Structure 1
Amino acid sequence: MTETVLDDADGAWQLRGFVGDEWQWHIGPHKPFTTAGWLPARVPGSVLDDLHRAGEVPDPYVGRNSLLSEWVPNRNWAYRRTFTLPPLEPHERAVLRFDGVDHEATVLVDDTVVVRHEGMFRPFEADITHLVRGGGEHLLAVVVHPAPQSEPQVGRTDRVRVHKARMGYGWDFCPPMVHQGVWRGVRLVVSGPARLRGVTASASLGPGTEGLREGAVRIEADLTLAEGQRAPDGTRLAVRVRDGDRVVAETERDLTGMTEDAGAHIELSVPQPRLWWPNGAGEQHLHEVEVTFTSGPHTTTRRFQVGFRRVELVPNDGAPKDALPYTLTVNGRRLYANGWNWVPLDAQYGVPRPAKLAHLLDLARAAHVNLLRVWGGGLLETEEFYTLCDQLGLMVWQEFSMSSSGMASTPASDPEFVDLMVREAHAVVPPRRHHPSLVLWCGGNELQDEKGNPLDESAPCAARPSRRDRPARPRAGLAAQLALRRGVPQPGRQHRPQPGRPARRPRTLGTPGPRGAQPPVRLRNLPAAQRVRRRGHGQPPHPRTPSPRRGGPLARRPREPALRPPRRLVEQRFAGPGLLRRTHRRRRHHAARQPASAVRRAALRPGSQPAPRLQKQRHPSLAVQRARPQRLVHGGRRPPR
């Protein structure tokens, strides 16, 4: 099997907007690519980002410019490009594979519709063998239809009928910037009559202490066969597990003579596996699983990085019998969950930003975070996100894209919406199963029932799929991953702190504490917090954030008001005798200088000499604030009493 990635590496994609069905007049192999009105586009990417780069809309991140682009999601946007392939053999098939289009799309090859799709998180494909069997150059067009109706933050959750990121419809930290576009990759696959359509992998450990020495790898392969064909001789599926350069398990299955679509299930035993641990608890050992499907002259290989770990929630010590389990255990060891909330990197989340993603996740690792909760108003995160979390030891609490609202936070319960969410769960959970970092699936953000109680598994849209509807082993770490539990205390049930961790009341950021103002990030290791904020642990600044080393315009920007303690607090708590003397000298120095207004008045008198050039002076209050030693505020040595 051969795969051709149809990305924008050669600048092949173009974009144009249309009102209504006007796009049907402008898409076809007879339309030249030099026609006016088409703009360069990027795949994967975002419609709004392409329009900004082409100068069609102002930068939506500046001022109130986002208001000038709110018309964009109301139009159809057509992507187009050409692709070339040699003539197909009689037994060969050609399939277009889309990893994600946001949100509804119609796909055409030349001027023929090959597939219609709805849903930004579900991949889809189209068999185009009958259109391209003769080879040559062909036109591929993807028409992204207007964004669906949804609810902003101040709305009603029961009116939401799509599984799409709601953040772009307007949130307290994001203006309305509804996302559209081909936001994941596109591939052209040429294979024989038998094809490996999909494959998932997972790693697990046995029960109890002894089970930590008994690992297992499970492979589930989805095999498809052309209508009226049979698998040729030599069709086989091989699985190999490596720990570094060492092969620790392997097997092979003969599939010759297969006459219909089928699924292959393979399980391998891995004795004495090296374990995967969260950040701060141990090393993140990863094993490579290689799945190879061979059918005639065509070979398909898929590789996964898996980790052996067992993650569970157990009841707290001394908790009543009806209390929910809240203590986190990994590989039998109780751990303190030190976590952050994670939202999409950008409102235009289709634009790849690998450097920014790696930088932020590395900051989380350096701040001793071991759990990231992916907020339900955003995304089901990307493969790149989970891969980095696997490597950094960051466990992931992933929420489906459902969120509370300002008016009502109860999700819809009609059968059509419930069926949609079941299909979404079956489509998105198994492909992410191999990531050891992904330990918990949750139904959404702050969902409630009609009485205002936190939503649990009794809600239709958050219930467990029945065994008949449930995909094989639909879990990603805990005993019941697809339960979609919200994971918050229920009314009448107690929530106690973990043993050895007394409950602490958080202070408001920037307010005085026992040693003055609190740091902007609540971390248990204040010196580490200082290093993260000031140096970023050696990570380069993001291109959108100029730095003093690059001489950007924001290199000397003032500190945010929330990070600056009051003047009185600086003088009383952090001003030692030496600092006060320096401050008084600065005040005398400013008082001795002649005011600038007097110099200007003298320059206006007849016959006066030109006014001397004055150096920029600081206000005395700024001198006090500038003299504040940063190290003391962020956890250095104790200030003198």
Structure 2
Amino acid sequence: MKEWLLNGETWEVKGYWPWVPLKVSSMEIGQELLGVTDWMPATVPGGVHADLLRAGLIEDPWSGLNSWKCEWVENRWWVYRATFACPEPGSGRTELVFKGLDYEAQVFVDGKLLGEHEGMYHEVVFDVTEAARTQERMEVTVMFKHAPDEMSQIGLTSRTYTQKSRFNYKWDFSTRLVNIGIWDDVLLRVHEAWTLDDVSVTTDADPEAGTGEIFVSAAARGFAIADDAGAIGNGAEVIAGDAQALTLRVDVTDPDGVNVAHSESPIGTDGRTGELRIPIEQARLWQPNGYGEQPLYGVRLTLLAGGDVMDTRELKTGIRSLSYAQNEESPAEALPYTFVVNGKRIYVRGVNMTPLDHLYGNVTPEQYEYYVLLMKRAGVNMVRVWGGGIIEKESFYDLCDRHGLLVWQEFVQSSSGIDNIPSKRPAFLELIALTAVSALKAKRNHVSLTVWSGGNELMSEPNVPSTYEDANLAMLKKLVETHDPRRLFLPTSASGPVQYITPEKGISHDVHGHWKYQGNPGHYELYSDVDNLFHSEFGVDGVSAVKSLKKFLPASELRPVSMNDSLVWRHHGEWWDTYDRDIELFGEDVGAGIGLFSRASQWIQAEGLRFVLEANRRRQFKNSGSVIWQLNEPYPNASSTSLVDYYGESKMAYYWTRRAYSPYFASAAYKRLNFRSGETFEARLFAGAHAETEGLTVRSRLLGMDGELLHEQSDAVSVDGEHTAHAGDLHTLVTEAFGSLFLLRLELLDPAGAVLHANDYFFSTLERDVYAPALTSGDGGRLTATALGDWAAEDTTAAGETIAAQGDDAKANDAKANDARANDVLRRLEAVTRRFRLTNDGDHAALHVHAEESTNGWWMAADDLYFTLLPGESRELTVTCWRKRAGGFLAGDVGAAADALPELGFRSF
């Protein structure tokens, strides 16, 4: 089989009123019906909104309230067209393949209707053998009907009837902008007489013996071929029993490219192989991020007919064992929420990922790479692909394989608020089954895939998650058991027996919530007193970076404001109003300017989120993990629960999450943020690590904002690599010397006294406006940054951080192209690094030191930010910047000088 990508062909798109494309001219006057737009250049993969913006037919939907003006787009019909050269035919069938049409479409070749399609996630395949063999060029036309009227976040799940991504219709972190278009690859697939189908490659391992196994199965699909007289066959399908000596050969190479195994199996008369079990001696095991490396083995499948090569397939896989266990002290009826990889329990440090953009078809490989690297750098080891979004493109799962991110994959269905009951409509069940089988067959071949879920927040009644007894979920469970039997299927997230977090004991297994800071002291009292087994969705909201706010808020709206008082702020994140919360904690002066307000809001987001993460981790493996809502946002929000805003700017919460997810960590448990003079400051101290370690020390220091040492103690602790150890307790009298704001600095020291992990916690002696002193305790004006060398190119190839991208030499009509994947070129995600020393020469603490890249041409991340420097302290850090290479509406979000190096500015709170 050979594939030619058609993405790079000259595609055009044109808009029409409904039904007009089916009628060329008016019945009444005979006049040609022109359409609502002219033909305009189209991006494939993509979506019509980006094309309309480039053509000047819509205003920037993200600016102000402009998305309201774009809602007409979803109500028109859109026609794509392209003409391309036909490739050299094989002896079998030639197919036109669409990997993602969004949503209802009719496909034509040379004006002839090939068929109709509904859905987003299963391949659409048309036989074009005759056209490909009898003509030099082929014209393809794809006509999309208007978008279906599906449920947004608020509605009735029981009435959903499509497999369209629902966040497009309005969610708390997005607007209404319903995508239409060709959102994934288009290609021509040329088959020989026999082709491989239904390929499955999975693995297992015996960590103690150091061996592994690769399990391979496949089917053979055949086509009628030329007869003895040389007549051209029509590509009709035949069965394996009609062939002679069909054989599947499997060759395995280790991560260095050395051949390590070979196996062959005959294809049965039913067209299938049995499962081949290929042993691997001295296997190099694939580990989740933070637990080791991710070596990938090459698996090459070759289909032979009478000794002749008919088809080949090449995949990469990791060798690892995967199993599931109940939590410690788990109720007997609870599902297994502990993931065990290579015999070791993995404490989940996860994030929920929404689609990277409303225009998910325009997301570039570089965007996927950047967000995967952000997860990897933050210590994330699991990403939940949320059921209200999309099933992602293959390149995302390839990246997760390479970087050790376990994938929790949901099928495409979600709660709706009014009712959350999984839809039982026959047409819907047929559609979701198509989606499920397509996803199962593709994603099961990724070593990163760890667990399937029926969808997001599906409930049979309020606060009662649906179970395997639901007919919809029972069907999906059976499909998983049929097509991917080695992996767990959870009915929904959360899976109950109650939906939402509660202090009531014994009923919180897998729960969601909350998504708001619960106040002082309520936040700390709640999360210190829960017993959930798994926490698969929760968050805290915070305002976006000012750099980002300036890109979509009108100048008149760049002010601290409640969403009750601004339609524009409400439009960009209504649920996530932090104004009253932040006034309560910082006082009225926090509203003095947008910069201060943004930083204060992000501080509470980081503080609230860190406490939940640490509280959960202190109960490891009674609690088996945390999955933060959410990593990213697909739309520019003034405020949301994301760790990284739409423009790729990491919030304070990203870096505090990074510390909470560290392999070594120390944490403090406390019940409130304020302790008056004369009261006893109390905190419990904990330490943990991935590996068993003895001779550790938790050093605790209470410090004033001027750097004065108020209290110090050291507690010896050893950890077993499985549990969080109680290291000691702090009890000390608060005096006037503490001032109005003080911090607890926790450091985990190795036996030689080196710092393995550090955390700063901030407390107040005030009764109200507890963090108000931070506004006047020193603005970091004496903070100095010294560059320790020039910007240097980062060799991402050596680190295994390369991306696959379509090269100019692999266009669809390139006669030298044999396979789309084989002709991808490896291209670096252009990156530069620089080291800096930051020093506080002032007499007050420089709180939450951070950086901003000012050319706007680069995404940025550092090995640490949002830390505090006391007077006289210095710290060195490395900053990495990646050249922005985004698609869709973000394509223009780049610096003015394309060749400019990054420019960084550092500041404190």
Alignment TM-score, normalising by the size of structure 2: 0.54
Quote the Cα distance in structure 2 between the aligned partners of 1:420 and 1:259.
30
Q: 1:314 to 1:212 in 2, by over 3 A?
A: farther
Give the residue type in structure 1 aligned to 2:17: V
Deviation at 1:39, TM superposition (A): 0.8
Aligned partner (choices 425, 438, 445) of residue 449 of structure 2: 438
* Residue 392 of structure 2 corresponds to residue 381 of structure 1: yes
| Greater share of residues in strand | 2
Give the residue type in structure 2 aligned to 1:340: V
* 8 Å CA contact retained: 1:97, 1:124: yes
Which residue number in structure 2 is paired with residue 199 of structure 1?
199
Which residue number in structure 1 is paired with residue 261 of structure 2?
249
Give the residue type in structure 1 aligned to 2:280: V
* Residue 218 of structure 2 corresponds to residue 220 of structure 1: yes
* Residue 848 of structure 2 corresponds to residue 630 of structure 1: yes
Which residue number in structure 1 is paired with residue 773 of structure 2?
569
Q: 1:259 to 1:114 in 2, by over 3 A?
A: farther
Deviation at 1:163, TM superposition (A): 1.6
Which residue number in structure 2 is paired with residue 23 of structure 1?
21
Q: Alignment partner of 2:196: what SS? A: strand
Q: Which piece of structure 1 moves more, 138-147 or 414-423?
A: 414-423
Q: How does 1:198-347 map to 2 (within 5 A)?
A: 198-205=198-205, 213-226=211-224, 227=236, 236-243=247-254, 244-253=256-265, 265-294=275-304, 299-347=310-358
Quote the Cα distance in structure 2 between the aligned partners of 1:47 and 1:159.
27
Q: 1:567 to 1:320 in 2, by over 3 A?
A: closer
Quote the Cα distance in structure 1 between the aligned partners of 2:110 and 2:540.
62
* Residue 403 of structure 2 corresponds to residue 392 of structure 1: yes
Q: Deviations over 1:44-84 (max 9, x none)?
A: 11111111112121121222221111111122211111122
Alignment TM-score, normalising by the size of structure 1: 0.75
Which residue number in structure 1 is paired with residue 636 of structure 2?
none
* 8 Å CA contact retained: 2:196, 2:218: no
* 8 Å CA contact retained: 1:5, 1:187: yes
* 8 Å CA contact retained: 1:418, 1:460: no
* 8 Å CA contact retained: 1:197, 1:224: no
Quote the Cα distance in structure 1 between the aligned partners of 2:645 and 2:541.
28
Query: Percentage identity across aligned positions?
Result: 32
Which residue number in structure 2 is paired with residue 124 of structure 1?
124
Which residue number in structure 1 is paired with residue 173 of structure 2?
173
* 8 Å CA contact retained: 2:213, 2:277: no
Q: Alignment partner of 2:417: what SS? A: coil
Which residue number in structure 2 is paired with residue 488 of structure 1?
495
Q: 1:263 to 1:40 in 2, by over 3 A?
A: farther
Which residue number in structure 1 is paired with residue 11 of structure 2?
13
Deviation at 1:211, TM superposition (A): 7.3
Q: Alignment partner of 1:427: what SS? A: helix
Q: Alignment partner of 1:369: what SS? A: coil
Q: 1:56 to 1:100 in 2, by over 3 A?
A: same
Deviation at 1:265, TM superposition (A): 4.7
Q: Deviations over 1:534-567 (max 9, x none)?
A: xxxxxxx9996799xxxxxxxxxxxxxxxxx988
Q: Deviations over 1:375-424 (max 9, x none)?
A: 21101121111111111111111111211113111122244433332332
Quote the Cα distance in structure 2 between the aligned partners of 1:265 and 1:162.
35
Which residue number in structure 1 is paired with residue 694 of structure 2?
none
Q: 1:496 to 1:57 in 2, by over 3 A?
A: closer
Q: Deviations over 1:225-256 (max 9, x none)?
A: 3348687778543211111222122123456x
* 8 Å CA contact retained: 2:83, 2:139: yes
* 8 Å CA contact retained: 1:109, 1:140: yes
Which residue number in structure 2 is paired with residue 57 of structure 1?
58
Give the residue type in structure 2 aligned to 1:634: Y
* Residue 359 of structure 2 corresponds to residue 348 of structure 1: yes
Q: 1:115 to 1:270 in 2, by over 3 A?
A: farther
Query: Considering only aligned residues, what root-mean-square deviation do their CA atoms show, in Å?
Result: 3.9
In the alignment of these two chains, the number of paired residues is: 542
Q: Deviations over 1:314-341 (max 9, x none)?
A: 2222333233333332221122211111
* 8 Å CA contact retained: 2:153, 2:171: yes
Q: How does 1:457-536 map to 2 (within 5 A)?
A: 457-464=468-475, 472-475=482-485, 478=487, 480-481=488-489, 483-491=490-498, 493-495=506-508, 504=528, 517-518=603-604, 520=606, 522=609
Quote the Cα distance in structure 2 between the aligned partners of 1:141 and 1:574.
64
Deviation at 1:523, TM superposition (A): 5.2
Q: Alignment partner of 1:412: what SS? A: coil
Q: 1:343 to 1:228 in 2, by over 3 A?
A: closer
Q: 1:3 to 1:295 in 2, by over 3 A?
A: farther
Q: 1:433 to 1:628 in 2, by over 3 A?
A: same
Deviation at 1:362, TM superposition (A): 1.0
Which residue number in structure 2 is paired with residue 77 of structure 1?
78
Deviation at 1:472, TM superposition (A): 4.3
Q: Which piece of structure 1 moves more, 345-354 or 92-101?
A: 92-101
Q: Deviations over 1:86-141 (max 9, x none)?
A: 6757x443211111111121111101111211110011211112333312222111
* 8 Å CA contact retained: 2:221, 2:237: no
Deviation at 1:304, TM superposition (A): 1.2
> Structure 1: 5+ residue runs without aligned partners?
527-531, 534-540, 548-564, 580-623
Q: Deviations over 1:184-234 (max 9, x none)?
A: 11111222332334533222236xx65763423223234233348687778
* 8 Å CA contact retained: 1:198, 1:223: no
Deviation at 1:346, TM superposition (A): 0.3
Which residue number in structure 2 is paired with residue 611 of structure 1?
none
Q: Deviations over 1:127-158 (max 9, x none)?
A: 11233331222211111222122101111111
Give the residue type in structure 1 aligned to 2:167: M
Give the residue type in structure 1 aligned to 2:848: Q
* 8 Å CA contact retained: 1:225, 1:261: no
Q: Alignment partner of 2:455: what SS? A: coil
Quote the Cα distance in structure 1 between the aligned partners of 2:477 and 2:366.
41
Quote the Cα distance in structure 2 between the aligned partners of 1:546 and 1:434.
33
Quote the Cα distance in structure 2 between the aligned partners of 1:543 and 1:161.
30
Quote the Cα distance in structure 2 between the aligned partners of 1:240 and 1:464.
35
* 8 Å CA contact retained: 1:238, 1:251: yes
Q: Alignment partner of 1:161: what SS? A: coil
Quote the Cα distance in structure 1 between the aligned partners of 2:194 and 2:351.
45
* 8 Å CA contact retained: 1:241, 1:288: yes
Deviation at 1:360, TM superposition (A): 1.6
* 8 Å CA contact retained: 1:374, 1:398: yes
> Structure 2: 5+ residue runs without aligned partners?
26-31, 225-235, 499-504, 511-525, 530-538, 543-581, 587-599, 615-630, 633-643, 651-768, 783-841, 851-864, 873-909
Q: How does 1:357-372 map to 2 (within 5 A)?
A: 357-372=368-383
